[in-house]
């Protein structure tokens, strides 16, 4: 993220007048890099992960745990540490984490929340299987380094959300009064956001473009003693400082929903992202498409977000809340008013599951695409005129229906085709579950694809497991030329399904029956042999026959392991993603040590899918509901929050010290298994 660029950030009314300007230049920059990079070949198969942290202040004697707002100081301390310079390489971490010799040290990044940090490896990971064993150690090293640059009572933790963000009373250190001019939130102060002008401007301009505050409403979990209908007791209907204080009087806070009103409630969440470099643009487009249908499955598998603003929620994941927290659509775009000033009705927030496929793969049937996809036809025409193919032009013409939100006046003086800043302005504020990343302006690296839906996990063991699993799945997709296509709108539906409480075990997801099929799925007659990729293509049948509803257990572990009786529906045996990974590993040369370590990662995922192990969402929910200070009324008190975060810190400290999790209780074992 180019945080150095400073200047005069325009307020929305003015930024709006420059939106076309930014889009026009953004398209020119896109065409420039596309023309330069479309022929790039043989880029290395690199990949990298991003881990996000909350920073909390905690001590055994303090009654409450708070969010520390010292992001800038911590980043400054990290930057000043000479032992973390590129020249010296990564330091040995205390407490058992192996140093990664000759590697540059991890990189720390700012994030939206002033209580957040992000860390990436010092350089991307390579193709070798052995590299996969360094990921967990590197993640632990990052956590150790981060902690070493904090105060003794500060800790980096990997909960997706702080359970009492926005609750009445004090929840940050230091504490500030609410209702600042940028967010105008009645729950969180402006100081909750990174003070770099980009972030408050982003929040303020989204609010301003919408014409009201964002409405992040999450269904509350109805427990035995939860009053019903439930009215969020923390909402204040009597504020009269900002025009937006009318929002709640106009129905922004419906019954039975936890009501939140600011970008921080979404962009203050932590996730785990993986970026892959493809060997060329064709492979990048293939990876983008094939990983898309896996998004909702991995979202449900990594579920870790059952609490908001001091209440148990009836959902398990963060996704929709972030989506609502940055939803800048106007009433016209939302379809609440007839179109007059705006150009389109737009069905989704700019943070949402991706809405189109981009590959020229002949297996991509037109029926998989959304006929109602909103695109900017002028932009598309410019891209076509510039030589881009229809499908990729459609993708970018869809991203470019959005306005740029943060515009610096200084950047509009002269078009610089050696930069991609205007393109990135639109691209990087389209927060979809996949991102297709063109090379940077200097064309120094290749086409990349980012997988973005996963929730951050409490331990680095789990984060490494999910990162490694995605790497292996990607290798399997490319080696076996797997076909995961289903209609993109079914992926949207799956994304919604993934939110439901315990979706990982209780829900079914649309998934492709035959991953090996060229076109039609049901294959010929006789028994299904999904691993047989040499079956001749059969006539194309209805798209609806190509997929069916499956449990995540079936998708991950296969029908046989999952005990699914698919005998009645012929051809419905599903091989399972883990068995596919296993057979891929059997077919390549992996040494025993590596294979054993990979097995512990695959085991975690296998058992999360089967229910043998709990998701973090289930663990947190259980922790809250069995706490002596919980009164079956959905309220997650300060005492519960303190103990929960205390437990998470203890798990994290044990992990980086290599001490194992024994003695932390049966519940922790249900989360992590007996691996460690």
Q: Which does 634 bind (CB under 5 to 8 A by kind): Mg ion, ligand ADP, none?
A: none
* Residue 331 near residue 344, CB atoms below 8 Å: no
**Candidates 47-55, 138-146, 495-503, 506-514; binding stretch for Mg ion (CB under 5 A):** 47-55
At its nearest, how many Å lie between Mg ion and the CB of residue 65? 10
Question: Which residue in the set 226, 273, 420, 520 belongs to the binding site for Mg ion (CB under 5 A)?
Answer: 273
- Residue position matching structure tokens 């400073």: 6
Q: Is 554 helix (H, G, I), strand (E, B) or coil?
A: helix
At its nearest, how many Å lie between Mg ion and the CB of residue 271? 7
C-beta of 450 vs 507, nearer to ligand ADP: 450
At its nearest, how many Å lie between Mg ion and the CB of residue 435? 7
Question: Which residue in the set 43, 118, 289, 403 belongs to the binding site for Mg ion (CB under 5 A)?
Answer: 118
C-beta of 187 vs 436, nearer to ligand ADP: 436
Question: Which residue in the set 49, 50, 507, 582 belongs to the binding site for Mg ion (CB under 5 A)?
Answer: 50
Q: Which does 448 bind (CB under 5 to 8 A by kind): Mg ion, ligand ADP, none?
A: ligand ADP
Q: Give the DSSP letter of residue 661.
A: S
Q: How far apart are the first and last CA of the chain?
A: 36
At its nearest, how many Å lie between ligand ADP and the CB of residue 26? 16
Q: Give the DSSP letter of residue 637.
A: -
What gap in Å lies between CA 489 and CA 373, rounded to an integer?
10
Cα-trace Rg, the chain: 24
**Environment class of 340 (CB within 10 Å of its CB; exposed 0-12, middle 13-18, buried 19+):** exposed
At its nearest, how many Å lie between Mg ion and the CB of residue 433? 12
C-beta of 72 vs 170, nearer to Mg ion: 170
* Binding site residues, ligand ADP, CB under 6 A: 46-50, 109, 120-121, 124, 273, 275, 277, 445-446, 448, 450
Strands 434-437 and 448-451: antiparallel
* Residue 670 near residue 108, CB atoms below 8 Å: no
At its nearest, how many Å lie between ligand ADP and the CB of residue 499? 23
The residue of the chain with the least Cβ separation from ligand ADP equals: 48
At its nearest, how many Å lie between Mg ion and the CB of residue 194? 11
Restricting to residues 331-350, name those near Mg ion by CB under 5 A.
Answer: none
Here's the x/- map for Mg ion, 151-190, by CB under 5 A: it reads as ------------------xx--------------------
What gap in Å lies between CA 577 and CA 559, rounded to an integer?
11
**Candidates 137-145, 272-280, 326-334, 597-605; binding stretch for Mg ion (CB under 5 A):** 272-280
The residue among 276, 286, 653 whose CA lies nearest residue 459 is 653
H helices of 115-192, in order, are 132-148
Which neighbouring-strand residues pair with 434?
A: 451
C-beta of 434 vs 441, nearer to Mg ion: 434
**Candidates 219-227, 265-273, 526-534, 655-663; binding stretch for Mg ion (CB under 5 A):** 265-273
The dihedrals phi and psi of 582, each to the nearest 5 degrees, come to -60, -45
**Candidates 112-120, 352-360, 492-500, 562-570; binding stretch for Mg ion (CB under 5 A):** 112-120
The dihedrals phi and psi of 239, each to the nearest 5 degrees, come to -85, 145
7 binds Mg ion (CB under 5 A): no
Q: Give the DSSP letter of residue 127.
A: S
How far, CA to CA in Å, does 250 sit from each of 61, 212, 237, 325? 43, 11, 10, 18
Q: Which does 227 bind (CB under 5 to 8 A by kind): ligand ADP, Mg ion, none?
A: none
At its nearest, how many Å lie between Mg ion and the CB of residue 159? 15
At its nearest, how many Å lie between Mg ion and the CB of residue 79? 17
At its nearest, how many Å lie between ligand ADP and the CB of residue 448? 5
Q: Which does 179 bind (CB under 5 to 8 A by kind): Mg ion, ligand ADP, none?
A: none
**Candidates 34-42, 86-94, 269-277, 593-601; binding stretch for Mg ion (CB under 5 A):** 269-277
For 555-614, give the secondary structure using H, E and C. Answer: HHHHHHHHCCCCCCCCCCCCCCHHHHHHHHHHHCCCCHHHHHHHHHHHHHHHHHHHCCCC
What gap in Å lies between CA 226 and CA 229, rounded to an integer?
9
C-beta of 388 vs 434, nearer to ligand ADP: 434
Q: Which does 169 bind (CB under 5 to 8 A by kind): ligand ADP, Mg ion, none?
A: Mg ion
Which phi-psi region, left, alpha or beta, contains residue 530 (left: φ > 0; alpha: ψ -120 to 50)?
alpha
What gap in Å lies between CA 660 and CA 676, rounded to an integer?
5
**Angle at the Cα of 613 (from 607 to 615), degrees rounded to 5?**
110
C-beta of 109 vs 508, nearer to ligand ADP: 109
* # binding residues, Mg ion (CB under 5 A): 5
Q: Which does 47 bind (CB under 5 to 8 A by kind): ligand ADP, Mg ion, none?
A: ligand ADP
C-beta of 258 vs 454, nearer to ligand ADP: 454
C-beta of 50 vs 582, nearer to ligand ADP: 50
At its nearest, how many Å lie between Mg ion and the CB of residue 51? 9
Strands 547-551 and 272-277: unpaired
Q: Which does 507 bind (CB under 5 to 8 A by kind): Mg ion, ligand ADP, none?
A: none
At its nearest, how many Å lie between ligand ADP and the CB of residue 112? 11
C-beta of 194 vs 551, nearer to ligand ADP: 194
Compute how many other C-beta atoms are within 10 angstroms of the C-beta atom of residue 527: 8
The residue of the chain with the least Cβ separation from Mg ion equals: 169
**Environment class of 373 (CB within 10 Å of its CB; exposed 0-12, middle 13-18, buried 19+):** middle
Which phi-psi region, left, alpha or beta, contains residue 309 (left: φ > 0; alpha: ψ -120 to 50)?
left
**Candidates 20-28, 215-223, 268-276, 471-479; binding stretch for Mg ion (CB under 5 A):** 268-276
* Residue 619 near residue 613, CB atoms below 8 Å: no
At its nearest, how many Å lie between ligand ADP and the CB of residue 435? 7
C-beta of 109 vs 622, nearer to ligand ADP: 109
- For 418-483, strand residue ranges (E) read 431-432, 434-437, 448-451
C-beta of 50 vs 403, nearer to Mg ion: 50
C-beta of 169 vs 331, nearer to Mg ion: 169
Q: Which residues bind Mg ion (CB under 5 A)?
A: 50, 118, 169-170, 273
């Amino acid at each position: 993220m180019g945080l150095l660029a400073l200047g005069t950030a325009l307020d929305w009314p003015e930024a709006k007048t420059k939106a076309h300007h930014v889009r026009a230049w953004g398209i020119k920059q896109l065409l420039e890099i596309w023309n330069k990079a479309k022929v790039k070949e043989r880029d290395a198969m690199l990949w990298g992960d991003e881990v996000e942290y909350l920073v909390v202040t905690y001590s055994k004697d303090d009654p409450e745990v708070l969010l520390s707002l010292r992001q800038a100081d911590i980043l400054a301390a990290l930057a000043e540490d000479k032992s973390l310079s590129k020249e010296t390489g990564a330091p040995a971490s205390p407490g058992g984490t192996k140093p990664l010799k000759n590697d540059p040290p991890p990189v720390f990044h700012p994030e939206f929340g002033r209580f957040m940090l992000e860390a990436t490896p010092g350089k991307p990971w390579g193709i070798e299987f052995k590299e996969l064993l360094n990921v967990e150690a590197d993640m632990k090293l990052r956590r150790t380094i981060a902690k070493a640059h904090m105060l003794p009572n500060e800790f980096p933790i990997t909960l997706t959300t702080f359970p009492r963000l926005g609750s009445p009373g004090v929840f940050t250190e230091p504490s500030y009064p609410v209702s600042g001019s940028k967010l105008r939130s009645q729950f969180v102060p402006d100081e909750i956001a990174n003070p770099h002008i980009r972030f408050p401007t982003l929040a303020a301009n989204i609010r301003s473009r919408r014409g009201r505050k964002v409405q992040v409403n999450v269904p509350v979990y109805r427990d035995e003693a939860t009053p019903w209908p439930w009215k969020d007791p923390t909402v204040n209907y009597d504020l009269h400082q900002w025009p937006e204080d009318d929002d709640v009087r106009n129905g922004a806070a419906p019954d039975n929903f936890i009501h939140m009103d600011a970008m921080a409630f979404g962009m203050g969440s932590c996730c785990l992202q993986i970026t892959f470099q493809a060997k060329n643009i064709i492979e990048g487009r293939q990876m983008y498409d094939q990983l898309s249908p896996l998004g909702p499955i991995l979202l449900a598998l990594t579920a870790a977000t059952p609490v908001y603003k001091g209440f148990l929620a009836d959902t398990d994941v963060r996704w929709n809340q972030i989506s609502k927290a940055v939803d800048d659509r106007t009433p016209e775009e939302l379809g609440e008013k007839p179109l007059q000033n705006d150009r389109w009705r737009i069905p989704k927030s700019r943070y949402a599951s991706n809405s189109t496929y981009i590959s020229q793969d002949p297996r991509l049937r037109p029926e998989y695409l959304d006929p109602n996809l909103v695109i900017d036809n002028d932009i598309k025409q410019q891209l076509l005129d510039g030589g881009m193919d229809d499908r990729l032009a459609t993708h970018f013409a869809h991203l470019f229906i959005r306005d740029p939100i943060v515009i610096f006046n200084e950047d509009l003086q002269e078009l610089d085709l050696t930069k991609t800043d205007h393109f990135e302005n639109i691209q990087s504020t389209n927060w979809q579950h996949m991102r297709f990343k063109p090379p940077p302006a200097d064309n120094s690296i290749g086409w990349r694809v980012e997988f973005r839906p996963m929730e951050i996990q409490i331990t680095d063991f789990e984060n490494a497991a999910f990162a490694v699993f995605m790497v292996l799945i990607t290798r399997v997709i490319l080696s076996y030329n797997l076909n995961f296509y289903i209609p993109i709108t079914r992926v949207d539906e799956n994304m919604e399904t993934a939110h439901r409480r315990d979706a990982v075990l209780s829900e079914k997801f649309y998934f492709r029956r035959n991953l090996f099929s060229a076109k039609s799925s049901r294959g010929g007659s006789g028994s299904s042999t999904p691993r047989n990729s040499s079956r001749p293509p059969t006539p194309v049948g209805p798209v609806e026959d190509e997929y069916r509803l499956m449990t995540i257990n079936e998708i991950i572990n296969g029908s046989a392991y999952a005990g699914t009786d698919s005998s009645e529906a012929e051809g419905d045996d599903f091989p399972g993603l883990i068995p596919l990974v296993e057979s891929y590993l059997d077919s390549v040369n992996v040494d025993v040590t590596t294979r054993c370590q990979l097995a512990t990662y695959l085991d975690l995922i296998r058992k999360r899918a089967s229910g043998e192990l709990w998701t973090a969402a289930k663990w947190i929910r259980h922790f809250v509901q069995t706490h002596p200070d919980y009164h079956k009324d959905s309220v997650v008190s300060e005492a519960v929050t303190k103990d929960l975060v205390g437990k998470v810190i203890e798990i994290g400290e044990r992990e980086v010290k290599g001490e194992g999790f024994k003695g932390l209780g049966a519940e922790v074992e249900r989360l992590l298994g007996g691996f460690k």
